[in-house]
Structure 1
Amino acid sequence: MPINVDDVMQLFCHLSQEEGMKAAVKHSGQGALLAGATAFIGGLMGGPPGIAVGGAFGGLLGAWMTSGQFRPVPQILLELPPAEQQKLYDKAIVILKHLDWTDLAQLTALVMGNASLQQKLTAVLINYLSKELRAEIQYGE
C-alpha cells in the first residue's frame, strides 16, 4: 500500500511522543534583524555612541526573543508547511517502503514492534529537526 505524507507525519508524532521529545526552534535571523534595526535607530538618535547602545540593547533583546520555547515535537510536525512535511516524508519512505501494511494503526504497530525501525526513524527525525529546522531537542516529560 502506498504510504501517504499524513500517515508518515502521524507515525513521527507517535514516535516523538513515545520518546517525550520537545524541540525549540531558533529564529536567529529575526534576532539579527532586530539587533541591526536598533543599532541603526540608535545611530540616528545618538550618533556613534547611539549605535553602540542601540546595538547592545538590540542584541540582548534579540537573544531573549529568539531563545526558543520548547514545544512538543508532534505539535511542530503538524504545523510544518506541506513542502517541509514532504522533505521529511522523502527521508522516511526510504526506510518504510519495504513494509506491508493496510492502515496507520498497523504501520505504527509494525514500527513500534521493531527496535531497529524505531531507531532509524528517530534518527531521521532528529537529523531533520536539528539540521533543517536548527532546533534544539530535549527528551523526557
Structure 2
Amino acid sequence: MPLMADEAMKLLCSLSEKKEMKVAFKHIKRGVALTCIMTGIGGLVGGPPGLAVGGAVGGLLGAWMTSGQFKPVPQILMELPPAEQEKLLSQVTAIVRHLEWTDAVQLTKQVMGSQALQERLLALLVGYITKELKAEVKFRV
C-alpha cells in the first residue's frame, strides 16, 4: 500500500512524541550578543554601575528573545509546507517499503514494535531537522 504524506507525518509524530523530541532553534547567539552589547553600552554610559545595569537589562532582553524557542517536533512536522512533507515522505517510504500494512495505525504499531526501524526513522528525522531546519534536536533516550 502506498504511503501518503499525512500518514508519514503521523508516523513521525508518533515516534517523536514517544521520544519527547523538541527542537531548539539557534537564536541563542542573538541573545548572547544583545547581552554583550547592552553591557558595553551600559559601561560606556554609566561606568561600573552602568556595566551592572547594562548586563542585567541585556540579560533580560536576551532571555526574552530566546524564550519559547523550543518546539515539539510533532508541531514542526505538521507545520511543514507540502513540498517538505513530500521530501520526508520519500525518505520514510524508503525505510518502511518492505513492511506489510493496511492502514497508518497498523504501520505505526509495526514501527513501534521494531527498535531498528525506530532508530532508522529517528536518524532520518534528526538529520532532516539538523540539516534542513538548522536546528538542534533534544529527546529522551
Identity of aligned residues (%): 55
Partner of 1:18: 18
Residue 108 to residue 131, structure 1, CA distance change in 2 (3 Å): same
How many residues align structurally?
A: 111
Identify which range, 121-130 or 64-73, moves more after superposition: 64-73
Identify which range, 92-101 or 6-15, moves more after superposition: 92-101
TM-score normalised by the chain length of structure 2:
0.69
TM-score normalised by the chain length of structure 1:
0.69
Distance 2:5 2:74 in 1: 14
Aligned pairs for 1:30-41 (under 5 A) are: none
Residue 92 to residue 71, structure 1, CA distance change in 2 (3 Å): same
Counterpart code for 2:124: V
Structure 2 counterpart SS, 1:13: helix
Partner of 2:133: 133
Q: Unpaired segments of 5 or more residues in structure 2?
A: 31-58
What's the C-alpha RMSD, in Å, of the aligned pairs? Answer: 2.4
Partner of 1:99: 99
Residue 25 to residue 122, structure 1, CA distance change in 2 (3 Å): same
Distance 1:6 1:105 in 2: 12
Shift of 1:87: 1.1
Distance 2:133 2:68 in 1: 12
CA contact (8 A) 1:23 1:72 kept: yes
Partner of 1:49: none
Deviations 1:83-130 (A, max 9, x none): 111111111111111111011110000000011000000100000000
Q: Unpaired segments of 5 or more residues in structure 1?
A: 32-59
Aligned pairs for 1:1-80 (under 5 A) are: 1-26=1-26, 65=65, 69-80=69-80
Structure 2 counterpart SS, 1:20: coil
